[in-house]
Structure 1
Amino acid sequence: MFASVSRLNEPKSQREAYRLVVTYTAVSVAVSAGVTYLFALSNNWPVGNALIPGVGIPLLVAPWMTWTTSSYALRLHNMRGELERLARTDPLSGALNRRGLKEYADKAFADRRRAGGFSAIVMDVDKFKSVNDTYGHSAGDTVIARVAEITRHIAGENCVVGRLGGDEMVAFFTGRSLEETLITAERIRGAIEHMIFIHEDRALRVTASIGVAAADADDESAEAILKRADQFLYAAKTEGRNRVRAAA
């Protein structure tokens, strides 16, 4: 019960904190004035003289106390939000991690009909092991971070990008058909192919293979779509890499 009350009064922005200060100050002054007025009447005190401290003290104290507690609560809210974000984010790429991907995919899949479609791409950097072996693991980290950045930039709105591990990246799309997702996947592949990655003053190039799948009537979960996209990724790599594959 107390936790729910605390959350109810927890400001989520600076503006809400200011609003709480005004609200609680007004309430404090009104309550104090009412109590002081009744107390003065019952004791035959001059009401005007009694109201000066009865109103003045809460008018001075309430804003300070409310602002102090509101600021603390706002910091806690921001810290909680940051911790929740970090728990769902891959630190290297800035993309969602497995947990974040699953949470998003489950919700998006359930809402796919209203959203107008749900699709996914699964992507690997071709011969990524040779990048690590030739240039070092820090170069591989640079490639992963830049590939995630390129994917986010091209994918645009109504899309989330995640990293499953290693060099395997995933993007989920809502409101796009298979054909539209294929076009986006091809743009991502082309951008990676033509990108020059710079690491410690050394230039390197990589390519990527991508599998694409979209939800159909038989799918029971987002995992089924992801599995199908992964199968098309395998087909792209088998056929020579640096290509996009999906259902014909």
Structure 2
Amino acid sequence: MNRAFDQIPTPPAAELQMLREKADRYDRFTRNLPALLYDYVIDEAGTGHCLYCSAYSQELLGIAPEELMADMNRFWNLIHPDDVEFFREQDLKASQGADTFFIDTRVILPSGKEKWIRVSSTKNSMANDEPAIWSGYMIDISQTKQLEMMLHEQATHDFLTGLGNRNYFKLHFQSELQRKDRFRADGVVLLLDLDHFKLINDRYGHDAGDYVLKQVANIIRAQLRNIDIVARWGGEEFCILLPDTTPGQALLVAERIRSSLARRPLHYLNQQIRVTISIGLTTLRLDDKHIEGAIRRADQALYRAKHRGRNRISCS
């Protein structure tokens, strides 16, 4: 028998019982907590090792804890392809001097199900220059992300037509101004207004008016590219941003929209509703630093189109 082992003092029975109770309590806690708890260390070669992983990994990630502790690549392989590069960048920054790590990311489970998870950890200082152990948790935030996306959609999109709203358009407009200045690219703004829309509401009712707005939105969308930005500007007005587009090209787009509406009526509850649209067109200028100038010019051109008889296009 190993005499050195014999010389190790045996803790009193009461102390052993207390340690067992603490271990049992911790085990119950980790098994019932809706979070994956883990300890993680990065060795001198830069390789990550999972030292501890709670049982919730099976529920959260679809992988048993012992599998994650045996091979950390099991976790890395779950990260969404669009998120993995950013995750690795943040992980590297944290390992090179940060004391905390925090990220929201998407994972694709072995079942194919996609989740949003939050990963958060803190570095524990170690003695004798040993590698630091990072202790942290992972939780499912899919419902939170869905709510965030729903609120963002409501804040930036028009409920009736499904188009972007004024806030959405302004955000993309500022991005386009920056890109235009950087690449000296052409760009055009169209401001569109349905002719005599109040008469449609008065004659056919507001439900018919809503139907017309939705159909017009679909017709406009059908004439645009994926890179074009369209929004319901307000009421019966729509606004379009055409990046990388010359005035001549924009005029063709505007004419396609105008003629698509003018040449055939919309059908609503066995009724034909004739709809026409007036369009104001302006090019983006080098001195355009905000949206107001371009919208003002497009609005002036739209006013001229209305004044000259409607159902036409006018350029600023």
RMSD, matched Cα: 2.7
The percentage of aligned residue pairs carrying the same residue is 29
Pick aligned residue for 1:31 from 35, 51, 58: 51
* In 1: Cα distance, 2:277 partner to 2:270 partner: 23
Alpha-carbon displacement from aligned partner over 1:122-177 (angstroms, at most 9, x marks no partner): 01111111101111111111111111111111022221111121111111111111
Whose strand fraction is larger, Structure 1's or Structure 2's? 2
**Contact 1:25–1:59, Cα closer than 8 Å, also in 2:** no
3-state SS in 2 of match to 1:129: helix
Alpha-carbon displacement from aligned partner over 1:64-102 (angstroms, at most 9, x marks no partner): 255598483123223212221221001111111121111
Which residue matches 1:125? 194
Pick aligned residue for 1:62 from 48, 57, 74: 57
Gaps of 5+ in 2: 1-35, 42-47, 63-114, 118-138
Q: Computing the radius of gyration over CA atoms, which structure comes out larger, 1 or 2?
A: 2
**Contact 1:215–1:225, Cα closer than 8 Å, also in 2:** yes
3-state SS in 2 of match to 1:155: coil
Cα distance change on mapping 1:29 and 1:142 into 2, 3 Å: same
Comparing 99-108 and 124-133, the one that deviates more: 99-108
Cα distance change on mapping 1:213 and 1:25 into 2, 3 Å: same
Taking the TM superposition and a 5 Å limit, the aligned residue runs for 1:88-237 are 88-113=156-181, 114=183, 116-237=185-306
**Contact 1:209–1:244, Cα closer than 8 Å, also in 2:** yes
* In 1: Cα distance, 2:279 partner to 2:243 partner: 18
* In 2: Cα distance, 1:178 partner to 1:142 partner: 31
Pair 1:72-2:92 in alignment: no
Cα distance change on mapping 1:59 and 1:100 into 2, 3 Å: closer
**Contact 1:115–1:175, Cα closer than 8 Å, also in 2:** no
3-state SS in 2 of match to 1:75: helix
**Code of the aligned partner of 1:147:** V
Cα distance change on mapping 1:160 and 1:195 into 2, 3 Å: farther
Cα distance change on mapping 1:30 and 1:89 into 2, 3 Å: closer
**Code of the aligned partner of 1:193:** A
**Contact 1:106–1:222, Cα closer than 8 Å, also in 2:** yes
**Code of the aligned partner of 2:167:** R
Following TM superposition, by how much is the alpha carbon of 1:242 offset from its aligned partner in structure 2, in angstroms? 0.6
3-state SS in 1 of match to 2:158: coil
Following TM superposition, by how much is the alpha carbon of 1:195 offset from its aligned partner in structure 2, in angstroms? 3.5
Gaps of 5+ in 1: 1-20, 33-57
* In 1: Cα distance, 2:141 partner to 2:266 partner: 43
Which residue matches 2:93? none
Whose helix fraction is larger, Structure 1's or Structure 2's? 1
**Contact 1:29–1:59, Cα closer than 8 Å, also in 2:** no
Cα distance change on mapping 1:63 and 1:131 into 2, 3 Å: same
3-state SS in 1 of match to 2:282: strand
Cα distance change on mapping 1:234 and 1:222 into 2, 3 Å: same
Relative to the length of structure 1, the TM-score reads 0.72
